[in-house]
Amino acid sequence: MTELDTFRAETRAWLEENCPESMRTPMPERETPWGGRNADFPNPDTKVWLDRMASRGWTAPEWPAEYGGGGLSKDQARILQQEMSRINARTPLASFGLWMLGPALLEFASEEQKKKYLGEIVRGEIRWCQGYSEPGAGSDLAGLQTKAEDKGDHYLVNGQKVWTSYADQCDWIFCLVRTDSSVKHDGISFLLIDMDTPGVEARPIKLISGASPFCETFLTDVVVPKENLVGELNKGWTIAKRLLEHERTMISAMGMGGGGAASMGGMEAMAKENFGEDGDKIANPAIREAVTNHKMDHQAFALTLKRAADEAKAGQGMGAAASMFKYYGTELNKRRFELLLDVMGTQALGWEGEGFDARELSITRSWLRSKGNSIEGGTSEVQLNVIAKRVLGLPDA
Amino acid sequence: MALVLTEEQTMLRDMAKQFFTEQVPVTNLRKLRDEESAEGYDKAVWQQIVELGFAGILIPEEQGGTGFGPIGLGIVMQEAGRTLAATPLYSTAILGAGLILAAGSDAQKAELLPQIASGELLTALALEETAHHNPKQVAMSAEQNGDQIILSGQKNFVIDGHIADKLIVVARTSGAAGDANGLSMFLVDAKAKGVTITRTHMVDSRNAAIVSFDKVNVPVSDALGPLGAAMAELESVLDLGRACLAAEMLGGIEAVFDTTLAYLKERKQFGVIIGTFQALKHRAAEMFCEVELCQSVVLDALSALDERRNDVPRAVSLAKARLGDAARLISNEGVQMHGGIGMTDAVDMGLYLKRARVQSQLLGDTNFHRSRYAELGGY
């Protein structure tokens, strides 16, 4: 038995023993384990599962053990993922700290900062949100104006952020702030702010899907200790770009499924339910072709994600792959939901109440939510610009 | 298996790239076309290909080949596609060697495979009967009379038909058009009595022929594989051919994309480089994404064949369909982005565009493979 086989056997046994039964069922959205100071656990098993996984650092399997992570190799992390999938284990922790801030801290933060913040993230104690966009700085993110003034022993922050995910429920915010107004990209710094500080206020924004996953966040004379600066002063754009890659990768993964009930496996079955069967085939040829096209695009995209991962493992880079995946993945996801609407007809157009089951209602809301995928984290048009410039070397106007 | 090339495969690719770029550039195809070459391929180039071991790339070493397998073959075809190299690789090294390996008797293998590897024997697959690929629809009759088979009928779109020494003919010993059962394969000498081969001229300036069979007598012993049960072996080799065509198309679209990108960086209008226009930048970026997806599906199809995975047909149809669509998109964009000059025979865009359409039709176009993909998936 190889070391990995042993690891697999031990992992399987541990999961078998420690993953509560109810954590092996599909997760309703309200049970999403976001963690944080005010975390509520409508299902108490969620907390048990989080704590058990965090105790082994397995909420962040590949982070170094000294910062609370699992210290696993890529192969071990993959095995952990496979073994979790095998028993349909839920993710123990959903967290922007894990997905986005953590990797940036590992790369850019001081030793004290890593020690303080990474452990809190692994254990799900602090819920983070991202303060990037501003009302006047969307696609042109580097045009941001939120100002952090040097007041000797602290920064005084004033400005407004927008599209801060779940800011009304978050504990801390990682922000891009302007520390030099005389230059654009080189006048931006990366600052961590405790949202309990006086002067921080978050107001939810209602979206077309009816949900309010984002907020406007107002920062008025907020006092931030100097030690909360990550990396060098005025070098925040470097961190921001790296973090955006993580965000793009995360969002592009949505092209691979998500939306639970609307997962890929169900598409052809739903088409058969709605349009009947001709032999084994979906009886409506136009729908059959559309479903097939979509499934083939999906498979080609999945293979490309796999190839990128394999190439990364072999030490070859795929260039500005993050932008490609973000662009293609989100556009694919939008097409998937539009196709689901075609397949389901008016059953995909219910808003609430009688006449529609939970799955149908969830698809409707996810369809609306998917429209944002190609806007957030840099629009599709921005991704195409990035590819044209950084990968293809096409000149600026 | 990881979707990356091994060190050995990377070396093979570099060698193939250097060979086709230096020895068989696009001008080689132009020369064959403009000089109205009788053979439609360059014998000196074929000899070099044989010496490099590419003709026997599928054939095991003990039978004179180099045994690189499907991935090796795909790598060579991708590089050949990049320069539109007109060679008998497809008809002989892929389909000929593939079918003899898959269905041939030990005696047939021992006799023919070394001849293919050494470049002495050229083969051609006589399969199609209509304007659309569909092996099950083969109707041509193969009537058994004692120890003889009598072939009657006509085949079209026989690639390299007029230069082949031996034809591999797919015909029906039983059943009716549309049946998967009842198909047989025969090795037929191109000079056999009753065989008439008429070269056809396709848009891609590459070899194809109409072959008619007028009561051609073939000994039963020249059947390739068991009578009436050719479909499984035939399909498995057609899948190899399809994956290799996809690889060849990939080389073609990469060449078109690279050339077009270079043109966008050099051509000036309104006083500026046209590559600064966002309308063109975005289309170029979309093509880049498409090329990346194509690279993934081609490598996966070749890997599936290499590992004899049980999803070979789906992986292959995924690749052949995607490359058909992508080659159409990118060859069209190549012409459009070159503007007026793209419409002229002086630049290569048109050559790639014309070749892409023939490649797409060969062994099933996008519609054929999309439908097959769905059928294999149970919908």
Q: B295: distance to nearest CA of chain A, Å?
A: 8
A252, A292, A318: best to mutate for the B interface, most B CBs within 10 A: A292
Q: Where are the domains of chain B?
A: 7-121, 124-230, 232-376
Query: In this predicted model, what pLDDT tens digit does every residue of B352-364 receive, in sequence order?
Result: 999 999 999 999 9
Rounded CA separation A196/A167 (Å)? 12
Neighbouring CB atoms inside 10 A of B66's CB total 18
pLDDT score of B161 more than 90: yes
User: Which candidate in B289, B322, B372, B375 is best for mutational testing of the A interface (most A CBs within 10 A)?
Assistant: B289
Q: Give the Cα separation of B306 and B71 in Å (integer).
A: 6
The predicted structure's pLDDT at residue A320: 58
| Distance (Å) of CA B194 to CA A27, B171, B217, B224, B325 | 71, 16, 8, 20, 40
Q: What angle do CA B134, B138, B144 make, to 5 degrees?
A: 155
Task: Determine the average pLDDT of the residues in B35-41.
Answer: 97
Domains of chain A: 3-122 (1.10.540.10), 128-234 (2.40.110.10), 240-391 (1.20.140.10)
Q: Looking up tokens 């006092």, which residue turns up? A: A223
Nearest to A20 by CA among A90, A114, A117: A90
The least confident of A30-34, A295-299, B106-110, B339-343 is A30-34
For domain B124-230, give its CATH number from 3.30.450.20, 1.10.760.10, 1.10.10.10, 2.40.110.10.
2.40.110.10
Asked if B370 and A289 come within 8 Å (Cβ–Cβ), the reply is yes
A299 CB neighbours in chain B (<8 A) are: 297, 318
Chain A interface includes B38 (CB < 8 A): no
Residue A312: the pLDDT is 80
Is B140:B155 a contact under the CB 8 Å cutoff? yes
**CA A379 remoteness from chain centre:** 15
Residues in chain A within 8 Å Cβ distance of B370: 289, 292-293, 296
Contact A392 B272 (CB under 8 A): no
Nearest to A300 among B275, B297, B378 (CB): B297
Q: What is the pLDDT of residue A317?
A: 66
| C-alpha separations of A381 from A139, B109, B175, B285, B325 in Å | 9, 56, 56, 10, 23
Q: Give the class (CATH, top level) of B232-376.
A: mainly alpha
d(CA B363, CA A144) in angstroms, rounded, equals 55
Pairing between strand A281-282 and A214-225? unpaired
Pairing label, strands B123-126, B148-158:
unpaired
CA distance A97 to chain B (A): 30
Distance of CA B297 to the CA centre of its chain: 17
pLDDT-above-90 percentage for chain B: 99
Q: Is the dihedral of CA A68, A72, A73, A77 positive or negative?
A: negative
Question: What does the alpha-carbon distance between residue A63 and residue A246 come to, in Å, rounded to a whole number?
Answer: 15
Alpha-carbon span A196 to A184, nearest angstrom: 30
Residues B377, A268: C-beta atoms closer than 8 Å = yes
Q: Are B252 and B352 in contact (CB under 8 A)?
A: yes
Q: Quote the CA–CA distance of B114 and B126 in Å, as a whole number.
A: 22
**Widest distance between CA atoms in chain B:** 79
Q: What average pLDDT does the structure give for chain B?
A: 97
Q: What's the pLDDT at A349?
A: 96
Would you state the pLDDT for residue A261?
Answer: 38
Write a three-state SS string for B184-221: EEEEEECCCCCEEEEEEECCCCCEEEEEEEEEEEEEHH
Identify the segments of chain A with pLDDT beneath 50.
257-262
pLDDT digits (tens, 9 = 90+) for B176-194: 999 999 999 999 999 999 9
CA A20 to chain centre: 25
pLDDT digits (tens, 9 = 90+) for B72-102: 999 999 999 999 999 999 999 999 999 999 9
Determine the pLDDT at residue A44.
95
Residues of chain B with Cβ-Cβ distance to A289 below 8 Å are 370
DSSP-based three-state secondary structure for B15: helix
pLDDT tens digits along B129-148: 999 999 999 999 999 999 99
Topology of domain B7-121, per CATH?
Butyryl-Coa Dehydrogenase, subunit A; domain 1 (1.10.540)
Q: What is the pLDDT of residue A378?
A: 87
CB atoms within 10 A of CB B223: 22
